[in-house]
């Protein structure tokens, strides 16, 4: 490892994961609750963004009320969002040690027939996923029922941590590929009838497709739509919620219509907008489970840049 900071980061992650993996389930739940409350008590930009995103989702709901947008109600919902995020991390740390039988016993599924029909067709499946609930639990369940999933992720620093991350996901039944070296492998997998799951509600690279999303134009990754169109795979918007209780609930939508109607660019734009619309419905069902603590719309990014310049804290990385 390159320096002591990298060593500390690696050891912290791996030690905490090992402790949570070996802890009794009630203790893991308690840890998640405490950690979530502690994170929610820390004021700052991240908490402001979490609250702003919840306000945006609620205000765009057809059933929006002044009561739901009350500052006190929003504060309570923000605390629930942090508890949900802590639960996601704790359960993710425990997943590699859980049996397939246990994972299946805690899984509820809506729309399984859409996945089965698409996989039986033999042309591959692209699952478009938002950062809601616990997609990794869904990935472990997919492996348990005979549909192992390939996904992609950004490289982590230090590299040893990324390798450890890949091994942990492998133990869950997930094959993780680096984001910067995945396109050809993923396309080949789809053409051989495999299942690929792509988290795509955040445009991390900054070269995505413009969509209308919760009342403002922003961008989303073009990958799911592009891969489906190029490979002939089915495109299924999917979400995995945490709950009810200690269960998890997967919702698999019917396949989007990937029939070519125009140029590749226009068809990608059409399908990406349809994914965004599906994600709006997914998020409205449990807004506190949307793990979005970063700027996601142009207005938020410009506000952040203006704040950094005003305080003199802007950096090249920002």
For the record, the structure tokens of 304 come out as 């952040």
Residues 6+ apart with CB under 8 A from 126: 190, 196, 197, 198, 224, 227, 228, 231, 233, 234, 235, 236
Q: Please tell me the distance from the alpha carbon of residue 77 to that of residue 52, in angstroms, as a whole number.
A: 11
The predicted-structure confidence for 220-259, as pLDDT tens digits, reads as follows 999 999 999 999 999 999 999 999 999 999 999 999 999 9
Give the phi and the psi of residue 85 in degrees, each rounded to 5.
Answer: -65, -40
% residues pLDDT > 90 (the chain): 77
Task: State the Cα–Cα distance between residues 240 and 12, nearest whole angstrom.
Answer: 28
Residue 284, both tokens: 């409205």
Q: Which two tokens stand for residue 187?
A: 């396309």
Say what the pTM is.
Answer: 0.91
Place of tokens 């929610």: 40
Find all residues with CB under 8 Å of 99, minimum gap 6, and list them: none
Task: Give the pLDDT of residue 317.
Answer: 35
Residues 302 and 311: their CA atoms lie apart, in Å, by 14
- Per-residue pLDDT tens, the chain, 318 aa: give them: 557 888 888 888 899 899 999 899 999 999 999 999 999 988 899 999 999 999 999 998 877 666 668 899 999 999 999 999 999 999 999 999 999 999 999 999 999 999 999 999 999 999 999 999 999 999 999 999 999 999 998 888 888 999 998 999 999 999 999 887 778 899 999 999 999 999 999 998 888 999 999 999 999 999 999 999 999 999 999 999 999 999 999 999 999 999 999 999 999 999 999 999 999 999 999 999 999 999 999 999 765 555 554 445 443 333
β strands within 22-144, DSSP E: 107-110, 125-129
Q: What is the pLDDT of residue 66?
A: 66
Q: How far apart are CA 178 and CA 273, in angstroms?
A: 25
pLDDT, tens digit, for every residue of 97-142? 999 999 999 999 999 999 999 999 999 999 999 999 999 999 999 9
């Amino acid at each position: 490892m390159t320096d002591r900071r990298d060593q500390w980061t690696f050891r912290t992650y791996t030690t905490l994961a090992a402790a949570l993996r070996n802890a009794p389930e009630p203790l893991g739940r308690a840890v998640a609750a405490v950690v979530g409350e502690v994170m929610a008590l820390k004021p700052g930009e991240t908490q402001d963004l979490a609250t702003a995103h919840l306000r945006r989702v609620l205000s765009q709901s057809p059933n929006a009320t002044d009561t739901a947008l009350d500052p006190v109600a929003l504060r309570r919902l923000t605390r629930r969002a942090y508890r949900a995020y802590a639960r996601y991390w704790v359960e993710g740390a425990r997943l590699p040690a859980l049996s397939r039988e246990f994972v299946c016993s805690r899984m509820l599924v809506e729309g399984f027939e859409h996945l089965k029909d698409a996989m039986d067709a033999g042309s591959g499946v692209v699952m478009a996923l938002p950062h809601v609930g616990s997609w990794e639990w869904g990935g472990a369940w997919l492996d348990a029922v005979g549909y192992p999933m390939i996904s992609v992720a950004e490289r982590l620093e230090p590299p040893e941590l990324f390798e450890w991350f890949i091994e942990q996901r492998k133990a869950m039944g997930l094959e993780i590929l680096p984001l910067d070296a995945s396109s050809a492998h993923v396309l080949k997998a789809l053409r051989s009838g495999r299942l690929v799951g792509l988290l795509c509600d955040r445009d991390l690279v900054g070269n995505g497709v413009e969509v209308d999303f919760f009342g403002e134009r922003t961008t989303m990754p073009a990958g799911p739509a592009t891969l489906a169109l190029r490979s002939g795979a089915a495109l299924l918007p999917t979400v995995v919620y945490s709950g009810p209780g200690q269960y998890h609930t997967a919702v698999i939508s019917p396949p989007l219509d990937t029939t070519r109607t125009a140029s590749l660019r226009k068809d990608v734009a059409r399908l990406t907008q349809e994914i965004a619309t599906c994600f709006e419905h997914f998020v409205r069902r449990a807004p506190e489970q949307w793990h979005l603590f970063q700027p996601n719309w142009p207005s938020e990014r410009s506000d952040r840049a203006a704040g950094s310049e005003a305080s003199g804290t802007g950096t090249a990385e920002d």
